[in-house]
C-alpha cells in the first residue's frame, strides 16, 4: 500500500509542478528513462537524478512526504523539490544504492 501511495504522490507532484513552457520542457529532456529529476536543498537547490525504483523505499517515501507537507503540489523550482539538506539526501540515497 505504501508503494502505491508513493507512486501516486510522485505522479501528482510531478503533474502539478509542471509550470514551464513547452519550449523550456523540450530543451530539458536530459532525464534518462527510469530516472526522476529532483531538486534538493534548503536555501540553494541542486538537481539530482534518482532511479524511480527509489520510490518504493520507505526512506525515500519519507522525503516525499516531507516535500508534500512543505509544498503540497506547488513546487517553486517547477519540479519535485525535496526540502532537506543535500547531506541528508545523499545519506538516504547512498543507503539505497547498497540495497
Q: Per residue in 21-53, pLDDT tens? A: 223 333 356 889 999 889 898 888 899 999 999
The angle at the Cα of 28, spanning 27 to 32, to the nearest 5 degrees, equals 125
Q: Per residue in 49-65, pLDDT tens? A: 999 999 999 999 999 99
Q: Where are the domains of the chain?
A: 2-97
Question: Do the beta carbons of residue 78 and residue 19 sit within 8 Å?
Answer: yes
Amino acid at each position: 500500500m505504501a508503494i502505491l501511495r508513493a507512486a501516486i504522490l510522485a505522479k501528482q507532484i510531478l503533474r502539478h509542478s509542471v509550470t514551464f513552457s513547452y519550449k523550456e520542457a523540450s530543451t530539458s529532456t536530459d532525464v534518462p528513462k527510469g530516472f526522476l529529476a529532483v531538486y534538493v536543498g534548503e536555501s540553494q537547490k541542486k538537481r539530482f537524478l534518482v532511479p524511480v525504483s527509489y520510490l518504493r523505499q520507505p526512506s525515500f517515501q519519507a522525503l516525499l512526504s516531507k516535500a508534500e507537507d512543505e509544498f503540497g503540489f506547488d513546487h517553486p523550482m517547477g519540479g519535485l523539490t525535496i526540502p532537506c539538506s543535500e547531506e541528508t539526501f545523499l545519506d538516504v540515497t547512498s543507503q539505497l544504492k547498497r540495497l
